[in-house]
Each structure stands twice: as C-alpha cells, then as structure tokens.
Structure 1
C-alpha cells in the first residue's frame, strides 16, 4: 500500500462526491455510466502490468468508482474504449482502470520505441498514470505517482508537470467548474504556467516534409507518429 496519508484519500472521496452529486442532479445518463466500486484485486493486477504502485488517494478513488468495472472493450475500440463522457469541462474522458492501463502501456511503448531526444525530459515516464484523455490518447491528464502532482500531455509539445498539486486538487477544480464556481488556485507550487515547447529536431524535418507532401497530417513540433516514420523509411528503400 502507498504511504500517502489517509486524510488525503478522504479529500479525494469528498471531491469525487461533489462531482457525482452534480451529475446525479444534472446528467443522470453520465451518472449511471460511472460504474460500480473497484476491487483491490483488479488494482493490484493493474499495478503489476504497469510496473508501478498507485498512491493511496488514487486507490480510494478507484475503489469508490471504477468507471470500467464489469466492462470490456471490443476489438474495434479506440485506445480510450470506455472513458466516461461529459464529466470533465476540458472535454477529455475520465478513465477507469481498463483505459488507464491501455493508455499507460501505449504511451510507455511509444517512449521505448522512440526515446525522447533529451532523457531528462521524456515524453512519458513509467510513474505517470493517465486519469483522463481523448479517444486517441494524444492529449490527456496524468497523475505522477511519485510526487502526487497532476500534469498534462499533448502530442504537439512536451508534457507539463505539476499543473495541479494533487489528485484531490484536480477533482476539486473539476467540481468547481461543474458547479460554476472556482474556489482557488489548484496549480502545483513552483511550476511553470505554460507547456514546455520543444524545438523540432533537425533530423525530423525531412520526415515532416515527406509526410506533408504525401497527405499525412503531422505537427510542427513533438513526436512524429511511428506509422509515419515507418512509411517514410519504406519510401526510401
């Protein structure tokens, strides 16, 4: 079990309770899709698969409501197969345990196949656990299991760490926005206000030029998707 104090877990339950109460009053369909309680067994299996330990506050949240409890994605699903819609004002889907594992393993696999140019600032770390994302997994929000802070990632630029001081802060701000009020600044201390933009690597420019000339969509910055890089290499053979 994590060493995070249990009073932090209590805060998470209270913040999550505000969100579920709002949904029950204003969006019964989303409330009905929140899923049932999670299980210690499922959480333990997920930890083994991802190679990390979830903090106590995240365990308490998942044990209260695992959005994916009793559900399995089909073979044609997007990366985020079961995410709960209409909960987050950002438009991202809140993730249950199944989608958390799917997105984490996908991001970790990308980092291992295409390591970041600067190892001090990787695009993904094993200790980061996604908690919200878009269907394709290219944008989302993660919990740093070591520091307890919450950050964001986007395909076009590097991740931004410490956007929220904790999972409690993230859920509290979400509840504030749903209720139409803001009760404070929930950002983590001493963090930058904006995302860390990464300059494009010179060796990637030929790949970007080829991709655009051949009808692929590719960003000016950030990681070039593996499928595009593979197609580029194949065209040169």
Structure 2
C-alpha cells in the first residue's frame, strides 16, 4: 500500500471506532476539506502538502468542529473543546486553517529568536496540544520520497518520531480496536470512554 492508502485504511478504522464507542469525539470531526481548503493551505505554505496529509484532510478536515474562537486584544484565540483531543497526550487533529496558523506562528518565532533550525519552512504541523507548544510535524522537505513524522516541543528541537503518518495512525487504530500495539504515539497509553469521548490514560 502507498503512504496515502495507509492513512485511509487506518483513519477509517479510527473513525468507525469513535462512531461506535465515543460519539462525542466523532462529532468533533469536521467534514472533508474542499478543493478550496486544500488550495488555500498549499498557497499559504508555499508548496503542495504531502499526499498522505491531503488524503487525511479530504476524509476529515481536522477534529476542531466543536472549538470556539474568542476575541482577544490584537486578534482571536482558538479554544479547543475537550472532544477535539482525540490522540494520546491530548493532541488535536489540525484543520487546514489551524495548520496555516501554527506554521506561520512557528516560522515567526524561529525568525524572532534567530534560529532557523527551530522550525523549518518545509515542516507541516498535523497534531498539536491545545495548551502547550507540543505536537507532530510532517517533514515535507525530504528528497528521498519519505515523509517522516517529527515530534516538537517548546524546549527541544524537533526530532524523528515515526516513519510515516500512516504508521502513526495505524498504531492508534490498533490500540483502539484491540488494546494492543506499541507505536510511538500510543506507547504507555490505554484508551477509555468518558461522557462519550475518548480519553487516553
């Protein structure tokens, strides 16, 4: 299977599990990204997003359907809903606009601190914690055709985490369906359901 096929297969399993077991979490999923959403994302990043990410976004455009946007001095702040946090560690699946915002914010920080290695233009955020600078990046700058996943946090440089987005999602699907798997993202976690939402502990 291709990288994109891996994403489709694994994400379909995850969504089916959420719909059957954690409907509140399933309801946090947005409808599929449109052609216009994808084009705006590509234009804003300055390059075409990797096919596995486009495939994922065309299935669901993030898990932010229940999030709120509140005005703050100088702009707006996104307030993630508890149901948005689908992944171990409380990460949210970013929609197209959230990906753009996160990418631009991190590039600006890298520029402000004068450290281009802190965030590279080819890094595309896909998962992020709501209340901390932590999440997962697809490295779209590889020349060998691979699209590895990096983990980032405020106090550390991004580092290798998984070989592909499909590998990451497969580990989550395995853990949800069979309570098994020792993938990078699910290691040390188990899933339960509280108030209709998936909770990792």
Q: Same fold (TM over 0.5)?
A: yes
Is 1:128 paired with 2:92?
no
Q: Name the counterpart of 1:176.
A: 174
> Aligned with 1:73: secondary structure?
strand
Matches within 5 A, 1:171-210: 171-179=169-177, 180-182=179-181
Is 1:11 paired with 2:6?
yes
> Aligned with 1:75: secondary structure?
strand
State the 1:79 CA deviation.
5.3
Is 1:75 paired with 2:83?
no
1:86–1:93 contact (8 Å) kept in structure 2: yes
1:84–1:95 contact (8 Å) kept in structure 2: no
Matches within 5 A, 1:82-93: 85-93=84-92
Moved over 2 A (4+): 67-86, 176-179, 184-187
CA–CA distance in structure 1, aligned partners of residues 66 and 81 of structure 2: 11
CA-based RMSD of the aligned residues comes to 2.6
- Name the CA shift for 1:34/1:185 in 2 (closer, same or farther; >3 Å): closer
Q: Name the counterpart of 2:192.
A: none
1:24–1:31 contact (8 Å) kept in structure 2: yes
Q: Name the counterpart of 1:113.
A: 112
CA–CA distance in structure 1, aligned partners of residues 101 and 79 of structure 2: 7
2:18–2:25 contact (8 Å) kept in structure 1: yes
**TM-score, with structure 1 as normaliser:** 0.66
Deviations 1:137-194 (CA, angstroms, capped at 9, x unpaired): 5111111113310011111222112x11111111111222323111x6569xxxxxxx
State the 1:33 CA deviation.
1.5
Deviations 1:99-157 (CA, angstroms, capped at 9, x unpaired): 111111111110111122xx5xx111111111111124511111111331001111122
Deviations 1:31-56 (CA, angstroms, capped at 9, x unpaired): 01101111121111111112222011
Structure 1 gaps, min length 5: 1-5, 188-237
Structure 2 gaps, min length 5: 186-201
CA–CA distance in structure 2, aligned partners of residues 139 and 132 of structure 1: 8
**TM-score, with structure 2 as normaliser:** 0.77
CA–CA distance in structure 2, aligned partners of residues 165 and 66 of structure 1: 22
- Name the CA shift for 1:128/1:83 in 2 (closer, same or farther; >3 Å): farther
More strand, by proportion = 2
Give the number of the structure whose alpha-carbon radius of gyration is greater. 1
